[in-house]
Amino acid sequence: MTAPYVMRPARRDDFDALMTLAEESGPGFTSLPVHEGIIRERLEKSEKSFAGEIDQPQYGKYLMMMVNHETGEIGGCSAVKAGTGIDQPFFNYRVITLAQASQAADRRHNMDALILTNEFVGFTEVGTLFLRSAHRGGGAGRLAAQSRYLLMASYPERFGDMVLAELRGVVDANGETPFWDAIGQHFFRMSFSEADILSAVSDNQFILDLMPKYPIYVDLLPPEAREVIGRCHADGVGALKLLEWEGFRFERTVDIFDGGPLVAAPRKLIRTIRESRIVTLIEGEASGESGIVSNDHFNDIRVSLIEGESRGENEFVTSKAVLDRLKLQSGSTARLWLRS
């Protein structure tokens, strides 16, 4: 029997639950700041996006909540931002390699350097994946992650051809990070937490104003800062593995605040999207195959874990409980991804 979780569009009355998730997510989780104004704004923007009230699709921001269908308890969330770098710059550091050579000194070696970039304009971003500790395991993490790709598959015209994900870097429970201490604090003259909040509530002009304009040689940084470049937070290791399984790759681009990795993939090549297909769901008792299914209704999408059995290429037999989570009847079509 599958866990009774369903992913659904966030609503404004999810405010208290989303604030709880923000508080539990910890420092450095930029997309879930403990800030009432930002949380309310994101819920409102998500409602409008799902309702099709956004004139330009690239401005859409879609937040989904993971709900226990039996108890109504919210256990997590995940989100999709249709277009990055459009309404405000999306700055990162790219790690470049510079060749150093001198015939006079008989020396040749490579050195890495960080340069400020804004090169992901128009990419769709997946993020805001967080589960409360009591709701982890049993496929819940996969459900929260893969539901975003089934959302994109249901209405691909609303999303970019390329998809990225930015993972939280190494930040401790007190909001301290060696990468920020080595670079950011010298240019911004503020704490990591202050900069993190400012980036969430502003248009990021302050980054362009204050960030270093020239390459930063990695070898000049203290060892503790060099070691965390491109490393994700311990809580994000599972999410990174899922992204890599989907086909995302690290291209030597990192967050400017905590040094966490940015990974990217072509939307059409993301495994869940590529392997999903439309089937007719038939109510019945069956087992042997498992995966994730969505009702494929973009405006009121529902995504659930599923167990059952294929009947040819176009039909899948599953329980009434799964159909209820999806708000579907036997004989309805749905988008299905099966474990291979």
Low-confidence ranges of the chain (pLDDT < 70): 1
CATH 2.40.40.20 fits 276-338, yes or no: yes
Distance separating alpha carbons of residues 130 and 263, to the nearest angstrom: 18
Structure tokens at 109: 């070696």
Task: Tell me how far apart the 2 most distant CA atoms of the chain are, in Å.
Answer: 79
pLDDT for residue 199: 80
Distance separating alpha carbons of residues 217 and 282, to the nearest angstrom: 60
pLDDT for residue 1: 58
pLDDT for residue 146: 97
Domain boundaries, the chain: 87-120+161-275, 276-338
Give the active site residues. 233
The whole-model pTM stands at 0.91
CA distances for 329 relative to 241, 247, 297, 322, angstroms:
35, 33, 14, 10
Distance separating alpha carbons of residues 64 and 80, to the nearest angstrom: 9
152: three-class secondary structure by DSSP: helix
